[in-house]
Amino acid sequence: MNVYDTSFMIRELSRLNYEETTILENSDLVIVNTCTIRDKAEQKAFSFLGRLSRMKKKKPELIIGVGGCVAQQEGKKVLKRAPLVDIVFGTHAVGRLSKLVQQFEFTRRPIVDVKMATEIIENQFEEENIPIEGFTEEAVTGFVTIMRGCDNYCTYCVVPYVRGRETSRRPENIVSEIKSLVKKGLREVTLLGQNVNSYGLKGGKCSFPELLQKINNIDGLQRIRFATSHPKDLSDELIFALRDLEKLCNHMHLPVQSGSNNILEKMNRKYSRELYLKKVDKLRTACPDIAITTDIITGFPGETESDFQQTLDLIKTVEFDSLFGFIYSDRPNAIATDFSDKISEKEKKNRLNQILDLQKKYSKKKNMAMIGKTELILVEGLSKMQKKGDMRNGSKDFQWSGRTSTNKIVNFVMEECSSCNNNIKGKMVEVIIEKAFSHSLWGKTKENENLYHCVKGEKDNAA
């Protein structure tokens, strides 16, 4: 979501003739787009602001802006903790960034804009309807926000306080934004929202599965992903959409957070372990090869050893494709911050390591099962290895990287192809999987299949 918001900030700043630079020391203006979901993210933001402040002491004309959730949460207090900051703008002020920077250039006085009124949200969405012009980079994959905010109030979570109430964008604006990105080379879109399953329910817009159908009809778009789904709102319609819409990827990120009913209740998640497992079964019945991934928090206040064992047991029962594990941290305004029975940092870490160790086995097992299979990969670009110039086995072949429909990273080699000059970024190619690691797969394009990617590529371009 911050990556997406950052692209809007860049657009806003380009109105004032600012250009991106990759060299921090050369910049006249630096915007730090912050995250406050966990304590660590907030600490990182302030330590980076410390570095910028040292830069500004040597270069007083440097303008420093702080946006995103830390700005929204801390408001004026950001200026106390980092006095050399010039502009603090909250999550709903992204559409006003160029005005704020202009104002600062004129007055050279610190500005704090963290207003979050409903009418401002609507105005911002109106602004978002302006097609994104001036973006020339040819990204194969990209994000589009379909809704903002959250009404769920999980007791550990800061999002409802920093992103505000849930608001869905209009389907026609989402579709037209994706169409304009596809014209610039986008092949895969990830739709973003805190809880995409409740898209459109407030305000009488179309449902999420209906939105997916509209996006599935966009010519030239190859793949659709989405994040994140709340298990309580995962509907049968969405499961059928996953089964039936050919562009919708075979992957569901379904954060469970804990395997214990006692903790789920304290987290205000509004589903039980049993309901979660039932939804997983339904997903696998409709889409047998679907990849399921999750988020888990360790050391939520009051989590006993037996609660934790139930989380380990749930991981064994579901056999997730991968998981993101997080150590619980208190967040400002979140209800659980006032809960007693806090777990020690040492124990929280110990539990995190246990879930990560356990998951490693299942990730490897799932990846191993793919060896020998042919997978359709959307090529995102040269592999990291190739970019670093580190070619395995001294081979001259090109090393590319892309993902399967199930969101697994595949690095693969392709022999030099004289017909297409190996220009396969953004193309769909078939790759035979040869090796499996915990976090990625390795393969090669099907033999004598060079013609395949050229022909397929021409088809894509024609579309």
Which of these ranges, 16-24, 148-156, 316-324, 338-346, lies near ligand SF4 under the rule CB under 6 A?
148-156
Q: Which does 295 bind (CB under 5 to 8 A by kind): ligand 5AD, ligand SF4, none?
A: ligand 5AD
Residue 429 phi, psi dihedral angles, 5° rounding:
-130, 155
Which residues, 121 to 160, sit near ligand 5AD by CB under 6 A?
156-157
- The closest of 451, 366, 360, 352 to 404, measured between CA atoms, is 366
Between CA 51 and CA 47 the distance in angstroms is 7
Q: Which of 187, 205, 331, 408 binds ligand 5AD (CB under 6 A)?
A: 331
**Dihedral sign (CA 269, 275, 277, 282):** negative
CA-to-CA distance for 215 and 144, rounded, in angstroms?
12
Which pair of tokens denotes residue 386? 């190739």
Sign of the dihedral defined by the CA atoms of residues 311, 314, 319, 320, in that order: negative
Sequence-distant (≥ 6) Cβ neighbours of residue 228 within 8 angstroms: 193, 194, 195, 196, 253, 255
Q: Which of 195, 322, 363, 367 binds ligand SF4 (CB under 6 A)?
A: 195
In the block, which residue shows the tokens 């302006």?
A: 130
71 alpha carbon, distance to own chain's centre:
20
DSSP type of residue 343 = P
> What one-character DSSP code corresponds to residue 93?
-
By the 10 Å C-beta count (0-12 exposed, 13-18 middle, 19+ buried), 346 is classed as exposed
Q: How far is the CB of 358 from ligand 5AD (least distance, A)?
A: 17
Q: Which stretch binds ligand SF4 (CB under 6 A): 146-154, 281-289, 337-345, 434-442?
A: 146-154
Which C-beta is closer to ligand SF4: that of 11 or that of 331? 331
When computed from its CA atoms, the radius of gyration of the chain, rounded to whole angstroms, is: 23
- Token look-up 């021409």 returns 458
Interface with ligand 5AD by CB under 6 A: which range of 89-97, 160-168, 200-208, 326-334? 326-334
DSSP E strands in 181-279: the ranges are: 188-192, 223-227, 251-253
Nearest approach in angstroms of CB 298 to ligand 5AD is 8
Print the binding letters for residues 263-302 with ligand 5AD: x by CB under 6 A, - otherwise: --------------------------------x-x-----
Among 67, 68, 142, 160, binds ligand SF4 (CB under 6 A): 160
Residue closer to ligand SF4, measured from CB, 89 or 271: 271
**255 vs 426, beta carbon nearer ligand SF4:** 255
CA distance 99 to 193: 27
Binding residues with ligand 5AD: total (CB under 6 A): 12
150 binds, among ligand SF4, ligand 5AD, none (CB under 5 to 8 A by kind): ligand SF4
Preceding peptide of 228 cis, ω within 30° = yes
**428-436 and 251-253 strand pairing:** unpaired
Single residue of 11, 92, 230, 351 touching ligand SF4 by CB under 6 A:
230
| Residue 12: Cβ within 10 Å count | 20
- Kindly report the backbone phi and psi dihedral angles of residue 145, in degrees, each rounded to the nearest multiple of 5, phi listed first: -75, 130
* Sequence letter at residue 340: S
Q: How far is the CB of 157 from ligand 5AD (least distance, A)?
A: 5
Binding piece for ligand SF4, criterion CB under 6 A, among 153-161, 210-218, 317-325, 446-454: 153-161
Closest-CA residue to 73 (of 332, 271, 306): 332
| Window 25 to 64, contacts with ligand SF4 (CB under 6 A) | none
Using CB under 6 A, pick the residue from 27, 36, 38, 271 that binds ligand 5AD: 38
Among 154, 249, 431, 436, binds ligand SF4 (CB under 6 A): 154
How far is it between the farthest Cα atoms of the chain?
Answer: 67
Contact 59, 30 (CB under 8 A): no
Query: Taking contact as CB under 6 A, which single stretch among the options 72-80, 156-164, 425-433, 434-442 is the one that binds ligand SF4?
Result: 156-164
Q: Of 163-222, which residues contact ligand 5AD (CB under 6 A)?
A: none
For residue 193, state whether it binds ligand SF4 (rule: CB under 6 A): no
Q: Which is nearer to ligand 5AD, 34 or 401 (CB)?
A: 34
- Interface with ligand SF4 (CB under 6 A), residue total 10
| Euclidean distance between CA atoms 355 and 210, whole angstroms | 36
Q: β-strand 111-113 against 141-145: which pairing, if any?
A: unpaired
Task: Give the nearest distance from C-beta 54 to ligand 5AD in angstroms.
Answer: 30
Given ligand 5AD, ligand SF4, none, residue 331, with its beta carbon under 5 to 8 Å by kind, binds ligand 5AD
| x/- map, 418-447, ligand 5AD, by CB under 6 A | ------------------------------
Contacts to ligand SF4 by CB under 6 A? 150, 152-154, 157, 159-160, 194-195, 230
Contacts to ligand 5AD by CB under 6 A? 37-38, 156-157, 255, 257, 295, 297, 326, 328-329, 331
